[in-house]
Amino acid sequence: MTRAGALSIESIEGHRVVVVNDYMDDARHTPSTVPILRIDTPTVYLVDSDENAALAVKRLADAMGLALRSFRSGEDFLKSYEGAPGCLITDIRTPLGVTGIELQSRLSRAPVALPLIITASGEDASLAVRAMQNHSVTLIEKPYRDHELIEAIQTALRCDRMHRQQDAKARDVCSRLATLSSTEMDVLEQIIEGVTNKVVAKRLDVSIRTIENRRKRIYEKMNTDSVAVLVRMVVEARIRMGQEIHQTREDSPSTASN
């Protein structure tokens, strides 16, 4: 068995990660199976007016090799946060200004919703259930042990990274769609509906050869030769990014008739 605190270098989804094996549980002083991940880019954000709680979270963040930014109120955090990767830790009841529930509601409307870790006492169970229903959050009941918060941070950072990758993929699809002419978009909509070239040609009052040429250009611009992949990427991008990619486009002279 690896000794407690031993370090090893690994790579997770392109990030340099240091894994601290056999984390020592403070309460029992026995090795735990929870690894500590050090990821270079994300930041742990903390909203808590309790200095002791802030120091405890800072100690854990330092041990994980993560940057920590602390705020005494939700308003201070919202004014400062600019969409950087990471996760947010806050109590469900913050004594100053915006509550944890309100923070969660505002973050859920952001382009990339920052994963939220909410700490709550037993008497706040009803509020906690409300938070879980409104948005995907991690809930930790007080008092919690270090390894519970470590696991929550790790999960939140992985979730944040996954969401940002999905958004980047959707934006790439949107940028490719923006290169299609309006006539190509007309054909694309028919492809998504599963309509045959013959039917599309009749609907658009053009020849089958014209439809075939437009389909070929669509595949080239979207960088795929699979109908299934094309449909999936467009539908997923529309769901994730909204209807902005349905914007109408003027025909270019070179493609208006082909």
- Domains in the chain: boundaries: 40-168, 178-246
- pLDDT at 95 (0 to 100): 56
Asked if 40-168 and 178-246 have one fold, the answer is: no
| Site of tokens 């100690």 | 59
For the domain made up of 40-168, give the CATH fold.
Rossmann fold (3.40.50)
Predicted structure pTM score:
0.66
User: For 69-101, what is each residue's pLDDT tens digit?
Assistant: 999 888 888 888 888 899 999 887 765 556 666
Q: What is the pLDDT of residues 115-124, one digit of tens each?
A: 888 887 765 5
DSSP-assigned states of every residue in 110-145: SSSPPPEEEEE-GGGHHHHHHHHHHS-EEEEESS--
3.30.470.20, 1.25.50.10, 1.10.10.10, 3.10.300.10: CATH of 178-246 = 1.10.10.10
List of residues 6+ apart from 177 with CB closer than 8 A: 185, 188, 222, 234, 237, 245
Both tokens of residue 190? 């028919």
Q: Which residue positions in the chain have pLDDT lower than 70?
A: 1-40, 94-101, 104, 108-112, 122-136, 243-258
Distance CA 35, CA 151 (A): 8
